[in-house]
Structure 1
Amino acid sequence: MKTIYRNKNGAKETFIQAYDRTLQEWDVPVESAYFDTSFGETHVLISGPEDAEPLILFHGFGFSSTMWIENIRPLSKRYRTYAVDFIGDINKSEAIRQIKNKEECASWFREILNGLNIQKAHVAGLSYGGFIALVLAIYAPQFINKMVVMSPAASFQPQSKKFFIKCLLAGVFPTTKRLNGLMNYMIGKGNQVNETLRNQFIAGMQNALPKNKLFPSYMEDDELKAIQCPTLLLIGDQDIQYDPRKAIARANHLVPHIQTKLVADTGHGLAMERPTTINSLMISFFSTSVNNREL
């Protein structure tokens, strides 16, 4: 498989340095571990008490597990957190072959859990990571306890053409101005994203390009009806990839055990934009039972 890096003249080193700068700002102890899978080496950032409930985190497309920089402290106080670098994306995982479909994604997940010696875990994901979480809830349900899905890429509604085109142009022409513009377009009005993480995203997109064949897609009714784990869906009221209210309505109609919340004054990057709010919602959902469908 071809490398994700755009050239051989220091591109990998430049990105790894940016990744490590973000990781230096994590204010909790972290273990950086690699696990062999049939798709290549998967990199995982591990924090929290060894005897705590496991929580697996999946990042957004083009980011990495350092995306959870503003969330990791409160989450790792309560859980043993495993922030997984999705293989084939821009991060420290090293793919030898691409994940081509949902079944292969579930196989990769099972191999990771085997390496981590985890039988069952909570799962959370943002954007592309939210789409991955939903895939795993459908194709590897026996391994998931509860799930928090934040602004999942496509999944409940088709992505808008404008959103798709902006993302495509940022990948093809990754100027600093265009990438900053994409970030500003994705977050809610007046909100901020950690500056070091923003710089890592820019360095990543300018020096690498994801090699991934499992693209976010609109999920069929039967797929969504098959999700049996308790699920919390969070979408920002300013999300720009689709109509958030239509996505929540479809989720409430089809997913059996779901609670939903439209997060006020928030765009597509919920966990990065509103970390205090999102951390509280995640911890509350994972630790208690919520009966009503809409929070």
Structure 2
Amino acid sequence: MPAAGISSFASDKAQTRFARAYEDLRLRRWPADAVAVDVPTSFGVTRAYQTGGEGIPFVLLPGAGGNALSWLHYMSRLAATRPVIAIDPVGEPGRSVQEKPLYNGRDWADWLDGALTALGVERAHLVGVSYGGWIALQYNLHLPGRAETITLLDPAGFGRVSGRFLAWIMLGGLAAFSPAPFRRLAARVLRNATLLEDDLMRLLRASTAFRRRHLNPPELTDEELGRVTAPTLALLGERSQMYDAQSVATRIRAQIPGARAETVPEAGHDLPVRCPDLVSDRTIQFTAATETRG
């Protein structure tokens, strides 16, 4: 049995099946010029993909249960403006290898700092969806000065995980195993555009035997939000299943110094998949404007 706090697949067979699906998607849909790099951290070997030109890079952090390949619609868009690094977090279904539990936000900040240091990155434009957004904020709280900007996409850490959100996750998981016509109907009913992505669904189905053992992100306090020093942009799905997006946007504007927050009509927690053009454009414009002001 794995040690407490160490995520793992239920069996070697399940891990092999996932690795096959992961590599199939990477070879077919991932940018050919994205270089895979495995770097050591104190929490395990971390897989990252690097592409793009010169400048301060975008660093892409997926949500819970996700990996770098979830950013397949973003790599080329963002790499047209600056370097991009997409990361498989340790303890998530991907190509990183977790060796030590992560118990709190400080651990997550240290993991990310270790990975970026090994990659030679001194400062980064962090882009995090859901759990990845919470990690980005923890990085800035514990290691201020390393994040050039933070872009949050329907971030976690703004309230307890609700029964409504868990039901949305479970129903989406069930729909992932359904025939394509039912999946497309479920995508509309559940407001989950990810269900329309056949390739991502294959990877999701292959990851169901993964046993994730990370903490649920505790709610960020007003005091913590007030200590966020990096320029911050928050994009929230107006119909987010995680929380009341308007209330969270208001809180972000009130508590994070100088933060911008926008709710995106018709989008839910599926915002990054539903609106890749909008999210890419807002992120590129925000980071460029911040560097120009600097």
Same fold (TM over 0.5): yes
8 Å contact kept, 1:30–1:45:
yes
Q: Which residue is 1:73 aligned to?
A: 76
8 Å contact kept, 1:157–1:218:
yes
AA of the residue aligned to 2:106: E
RMSD of Structure 2 on Structure 1 (CA): 2.6
Q: 2:193 & 2:8 partners in 1: Cα distance?
A: 33
Q: 2:135 & 2:31 partners in 1: Cα distance?
A: 27
8 Å contact kept, 1:186–1:267:
no
Match of 1:70, SS state, is coil
Q: 2:224 & 2:112 partners in 1: Cα distance?
A: 18
Q: Which residue is 2:121 aligned to?
A: 118
1:142 to 128, 140, 145: 145
Q: 1:115 & 1:240 partners in 2: Cα distance?
A: 36
Following superposition, the deviation at residue 21 of structure 1 comes to 2.1
8 Å contact kept, 1:228–1:257:
no
AA of the residue aligned to 2:256: V
Q: 1:12 & 1:119 partners in 2: Cα distance?
A: 34
Q: 1:192 & 1:242 partners in 2: Cα distance?
A: 21
Is residue 2:43 matched to residue 1:39? yes
Structure 1 residues 289 and 119 mapped into 2: Cα distance closer, same or farther (>3 Å)?
A: closer
Q: Which residue is 2:131 aligned to?
A: 128
Following superposition, the deviation at residue 280 of structure 1 comes to 0.6
Following superposition, the deviation at residue 98 of structure 1 comes to 1.1
Q: Which residue is 1:293 aligned to?
A: none
How high is the sequence identity, in percent, across the aligned residues?
Answer: 24
Match of 1:106, SS state, is helix
Structure 1 residues 248 and 273 mapped into 2: Cα distance closer, same or farther (>3 Å)?
A: same
- Taking structure 2 as the reference length, the TM-score comes to 0.88
Q: Which residue is 1:277 aligned to?
A: 278
Following superposition, the deviation at residue 38 of structure 1 comes to 1.2
8 Å contact kept, 1:189–1:265:
no
AA of the residue aligned to 1:263: V
8 Å contact kept, 1:191–1:266:
no
Q: Which residue is 1:203 aligned to?
A: 206
Q: Which residue is 1:7 aligned to?
A: 11
AA of the residue aligned to 2:253: N
1:97 to 93, 100, 103: 100
Is residue 2:60 matched to residue 1:57? yes
Match of 1:262, SS state, is strand
AA of the residue aligned to 1:273: R
Following superposition, the deviation at residue 162 of structure 1 comes to 2.1
Match of 2:57, SS state, is strand
Q: 1:106 & 1:191 partners in 2: Cα distance?
A: 28
Match of 2:145, SS state, is helix
Q: Which residue is 2:162 aligned to?
A: 160
Q: Which residue is 1:249 aligned to?
A: 250
Match of 2:262, SS state, is strand
Counting only pairs closer than 5 Å after superposition, residues 256-267 of structure 1 correspond to structure 2 as 256-267=257-268
Q: Which residue is 2:241 aligned to?
A: 240
8 Å contact kept, 1:58–1:65:
yes
Structure 1 residues 199 and 176 mapped into 2: Cα distance closer, same or farther (>3 Å)?
A: same
**Structure 2: stretches of 5+ with no match in the other structure:** none
Following superposition, the deviation at residue 45 of structure 1 comes to 1.3
